[in-house]
Amino acid sequence: MNLYFRLAWILLRALAAPSVAPGETIELRLRVLPNDLDLNGHVNNGRYLTLVDLGLATLFVRSGFLRLCLARRWRPMGGGSIAYFRRGLTLFQAYTLRFTLVGWDEFWNYCAFEFVREGALHAHGFVKGAVSRPGGLVPNSEIYPALGITQPSPPLPDALRAWIAADTLLGERARRPA
């Protein structure tokens, strides 16, 4: 994360916003700034994922998750992402970042994101994250009840399940010697 001024602004706004539950979509209205651009004059592919961190930060604050992590000294961590880039966003264009917690499994939490401008989808994808503490990952069976959430994860979308399968294969390779 290197968008410190935008992050501070987003966090201040999130503190004043209503709480959010799993499945509810957060919308952040943003604008393309000069440091978001690549040499082709549109938002850099890597920057999209950095901007997704703003959605994560908002979700953490508005869901009560950040407070829980601070109280228990847990550390949220990213575990992977997949993105599809359809249209470029250019300098000073306004757009909306939509961000939704779509489901979870034993340890991983899955969020969907969309970058939308004037009704057109510019980029979308998924990110996954977990929570760590000394000794390993915190199971979601401990996290969600602490947030007052007792319902099971909703069914995961087909595209997300396919990505999880591919991500699992990549993870197996990462556990073998290089």
CATH number of the domain residue 130 falls in: 3.10.129.10
- Predicted confidence (pLDDT) at residue 166 exceeds the cutoff of 70: yes
The answer to whether the Cα torsion of 100, 102, 103, 109 is positive or negative is: negative
pLDDT in tens, 131-151: 999 999 999 999 999 999 999
- Predicted confidence (pLDDT) at residue 5 exceeds the cutoff of 70: yes
Residue 42 lies in a domain: yes
Residue 47 lies in a domain: yes
| pTM for this entry | 0.93
Residue 176 lies in a domain: no
Predicted local confidence at residue 128, as pLDDT: 98
- Count the domains in the chain: 1
Domain range for 107: 21-165
Predicted local confidence at residue 1, as pLDDT: 58
Residue 25 lies in a domain: yes
With beta carbons less than 8 A apart as the criterion, state whether 122 and 87 touch: yes
Half-sphere exposure of 117 (CA within 13 A, CB side): 15
Residue 118 lies in a domain: yes
**Across 83-94, average pLDDT:** 97
Residue 172 lies in a domain: no
Residue 37 corresponds to which tokens in the numbers above? 């651009």
Residue 55 lies in a domain: yes
